[in-house]
Amino acid sequence: MDGHPYKDMPHLTRSAEWVVAFTPYRGQSFLKRWFLPAQFGHVWAFTEVQGESVIFDPYNGGYFMAATHGTPTTQVQSGLGVTPAVLASALLREGGVHLLRYKARIPRLKGHVANYVPNCVTMVKLLLGVRVAAFTPRGLYKALLKQGAEPLNEVTITQFLAADQARRSERILQTLNQ
């Protein structure tokens, strides 16, 4: 296959940077409480696509997906735009959440035995294009670290927020100069 894989959608790229959130279980079945460590009960992810944040949260029987809306000017000036950096910062402040920044690739369509278990881990693995034998959120956390994911802590979140603010300010200047 030559050229761009999505000729009709040139704005899509072959990779995207995702923030993967590992959260404690809340109100889930007793089996999950029994088999999973308290800090790794669920996994979900979020990213930015064309200036809008996209949140992907799988759950039993489906998934929740949301996107922020607004122009770059209103998002930066009013503070209404919830970017991945802002969301990651808020989650880290809340505590009890483990965050990883991972550069995902659009997956090749190859099956893996671990992708036949219908749970949040499988859906996030398919989203990220990861082929690992992880069945639990903790297993996925360890596998992503081995594949080069960066844990987000207070120092890296500060850098993430600074880069986000610079990018948003640049967008404002571009819109004001037009």
Asked if 61 and 123 touch (Cβ cutoff 8 Å), the reply is no
Give the separation between CA 112 and CA 122, rounded to whole angstroms: 10
pTM (2 d.p.) = 0.76
Q: Return per-residue pLDDT of the chain as tens, 178 residues.
A: 344 455 555 555 555 889 999 988 766 555 555 666 667 778 889 888 777 788 888 876 677 787 776 555 444 444 446 788 888 888 888 888 999 999 887 665 566 666 677 788 888 888 888 888 888 889 999 999 999 999 999 888 889 888 888 887 877 777 777 6
Q: Where are the domains of the chain?
A: 15-177
Single-letter residue type at 12: L
Give the separation between CA 45 and CA 30, rounded to whole angstroms: 24
Give the separation between CA 82 and CA 90, rounded to whole angstroms: 10
Tokens of 132: 């690992």
